[in-house]
Amino acid sequence: MWSTKFLQAKEGESKTARFNQHLSDCFNFYYGDLMVKLVTFGFLIYQGILYVQLTDRPKEIFGPMNYFDSLLMPSFPATWVFYPVLAVIALGLYLSFKRPKVYWLRIGVFVGLMWVNAFKWSYGFFSHVGHILLIYHFLSMFLNSQIPSDEKDMATKSRSIALVYFGIFVTYSMSGIWKLLGLAYKIVFTPGVINWLHPDAARVNASVGFRDWDMDMSAISWVYDIPVFWQFMVLVMLFLQVFSFVGAVVRPLRLWFGIGNILFHVHNIIFIMIHFYLSPLMLLVVFFPYAFFMKGKLGAQHIAVEDVFFDKASNTYRRVYANGDKDEFSGFEARRQRLLDEKPFWAGWLFFPGVALVASWLGRTSTSKA
Amino acid sequence: MTIKQRYIATATLVIVSLVGSVCSFFTINAGKKEVYPFYYWKLYSQPAGWELTHSGYRIYATNDVTAWNRIPNYGRATFDRDETLYFLNPIANAIEEGNVTDEDLTKLKIWCGYLVPEFEHHKIVKETFNPREIIDQPEKFLTEDVYVVD
């Protein structure tokens, strides 16, 4: 069961195409992991500053919020414990970069981060605002960030990477599925009330967010007068969230689901007073297409595309690599693979779930008319 | 560790995560704590305020018990707006549901004295408002005493 063949070759894809994909997966993961380490280092500095603020609070109101926390941090940590632990975690981060093969260093960093995270969230509520940082360190703790030299190893590694991405994206999918279920329930059982597709949904939702913070919303309330826009955005957001997990396996979509969820967080910060900062930052550094922007660094291993051919009559697209290997696609796949070479950034849109289905349906009706 | 073993270990972690999140769903619904703290994502499954009546808790404080002052939720250096709500809401909810612990009430008392030290007496008030109207009429809400702290 472990050899599950997800991320399989597409029809028409050559061995070389697969090799290049695995190489850029490993490359992206290497730089992503490095950036996550830097973000984590910043997170530790932030916690160090936070400690000073939280020591001001009465010790009596501190209390662990879940089973991990009761185990890890039953009471407010003393200064001589807290700062040395921060320093040890920072050292662990550095060592895990220097010695990427040693997985127990990564496990140690994860446990340390769990401990540090318990500290801020022991005052009546356990927030999930730092969840992506923690999930990333959790799911990637057995991975070596270095790029393997062996072709087969690279393929296995890129499946491991996809699993880490899946673990991150699936949190958004779950959140989206809950909203979808909530919406369906409201439409079926209580059709009169405000559900997510009601024209006033965004307004009342924002109103509560602003009121929770005792902030005046009248200055921006005009944005909720724009007709249809918010309902449309709810549908876009539902789609992006529910299908986020697909981004783990469909490479051109990683960037787009990353961007989509970042925009979702930014929207929440501006319009609903729900402030998640670490999560969008993590999405940015984890899903940033490093290989695309740092082609020069990809190295000699990368096998360049020598030539491409598009045959309009038969609707086929062929890619010829420097080593003589060929990819050959037909139909809609030919068109989107061609766009992937010409406009690698925007081509991702053609890989969203459902697009191929609609395209094949449109293709069939247009040929039947002809 | 070989690359294959690392892959198997990672796959196991993903499964552990998913199972943990399902367990959290059940433990939370049973009124207990989360077993696995990162995956339970039932957030905003309805727009907040969809019933067109919404409630929030605030501290009211005074030195003279005949006239109370509403203490708005403003950010403090050691307790920002979210932290203030996160601290207050679960305890106030528990008071209303009649299952608050003495420990929580002690915490609440210490906390009110810490957060609003300029007044001697504190109470928790539930404010109920219509989210559509409150935008233009911030003073239009009903109040109900939940608990007199001291």
> How is chain B split among helix, strand and coil, in percent rounded to 5?
40, 20, 45
Residue range A159-170, pLDDT digits in tens: 999 999 999 999
Which of A7, A213, A276 is the mutation pick for testing B, counting most B CBs within 10 A?
A213
- For residue A121, the distance in angstroms to the closest alpha carbon of chain B comes to 9
Which of A29, A57, A62, A68 is the mutation pick for testing B, counting most B CBs within 10 A?
A57
Confidence tier at B39 by pLDDT (50, 70, 90): low
Residue range A268-290, pLDDT digits in tens: 888 877 888 999 999 999 999 99
Question: Which of A68-72, A74-78, A154-158, A290-294 has the least mean pLDDT?
Answer: A68-72
Tell me the chain A residues in contact with residue B137 when contact means C-beta distances shorter than 8 Å.
none
Q: Please tell me which residue of chain A has the smallest CA distance to B134.
A: A207
Q: How many other β-carbons are positioned within 10 Å of the β-carbon of residue A15?
A: 14
DSSP letters, A91-141, are HHHHHHHH-TT-HHHHHHHHHHHHHHHHHHT-BS----TTHHHHHHHHHTT
Highest mean pLDDT among A27-36, A122-131, B77-86: A27-36
User: Given A128, A148, A218, which is nearest B38 (Cβ)?
Assistant: A128
Q: Is the pLDDT of residue A255 over 80?
A: yes
CA distances for A95 relative to A40, A99, A285, angstroms: 14, 6, 20
Distance CA A270, CA A71 (A): 37
Confidence tier at A365 by pLDDT (50, 70, 90): low
CA distances for A250 relative to A165, A237, A253, A324, angstroms: 11, 19, 6, 26
Q: What was the pLDDT predicted at B45?
A: 79
Q: Is the pLDDT of residue B40 over 70?
A: no
Which of A207, A244, A276, A282 is the mutation pick for testing B, counting most B CBs within 10 A?
A207
Q: Please tell me which residue of chain B has the smallest CA distance to A209.
A: B48
Query: Cβ contact (<8 Å) for B1 and A217?
Result: no
Distance CA A8, CA A27 (A): 19
Residue range B87-102, pLDDT digits in tens: 999 999 999 999 999 9
Query: Cβ contact (<8 Å) for A138 and B107?
Result: no
The model carries a pTM of: 0.90
State the complex-level ipTM: 0.89
Query: Cβ contact (<8 Å) for B33 and A66?
Result: yes
Task: Say if strands A326-330 and A316-321 run parallel, antiparallel, or are unpaired.
Answer: antiparallel
Tell me the chain B residues in contact with residue A174 when contact means C-beta distances shorter than 8 Å.
21, 39, 41
Query: Cβ contact (<8 Å) for A198 and B47?
Result: yes
Query: Cβ contact (<8 Å) for A208 and B10?
Result: no
The overall average pLDDT reported for chain B is: 90
Tell me the chain B residues in contact with residue A124 when contact means C-beta distances shorter than 8 Å.
86-91, 107
Q: Is A164 on the interface with B (CB under 8 A)?
A: yes
Query: Cβ contact (<8 Å) for A2 and B111?
Result: no
User: Given B13, B79, B82, which is nearest A138 (Cβ)?
Assistant: B13
Q: Is B110 within 8 Å of B99 (Cβ atoms)?
A: no
Residue A214: partners with Cβ closer than 8 Å, 6 or more residues away: B72, B73, B74, B81
Q: To 10 degrees, the CA torsion angle through A282, A117, A141, A103?
A: 130
Q: What was the pLDDT predicted at A324?
A: 92
Q: To 10 degrees, the CA torsion angle through A194, A196, A197, A203?
A: 70
Residue range A98-154, pLDDT digits in tens: 999 999 999 999 999 989 988 888 887 777 778 899 999 999 999 999 999 999 999
User: Given A63, A140, A194, which is nearest B47 (Cβ)?
Assistant: A194
Q: Is A334 within 8 Å of A18 (Cβ atoms)?
A: no
CA distances for A279 relative to A86, A129, A137, angstroms: 21, 7, 13
Residue range A320-360, pLDDT digits in tens: 999 999 999 998 999 999 999 999 889 999 999 989 888 88
Distance CA A243, CA B31 (A): 30
Q: Is B36 within 8 Å of B23 (Cβ atoms)?
A: yes
Q: Is A3 on the interface with B (CB under 8 A)?
A: no
Question: What is the Cβ-side half-sphere exposure of residue A346, based on CA atoms within 13 angstroms?
Answer: 4
Q: Which helix (H) or strand (E) segment is B84 a member of?
A: helix B81-97
Q: Give the closest residue to A234 by CA, choosing from A277, A272, A270, A198.
A: A198
Tokens coding A114: 């769990």
Tokens coding A295: 């082609």
Q: What was the pLDDT predicted at A1?
A: 40
Q: Is A252 within 8 Å of A340 (Cβ atoms)?
A: yes
The overall average pLDDT reported for chain A is: 90
Locus of tokens 């500053």: A49
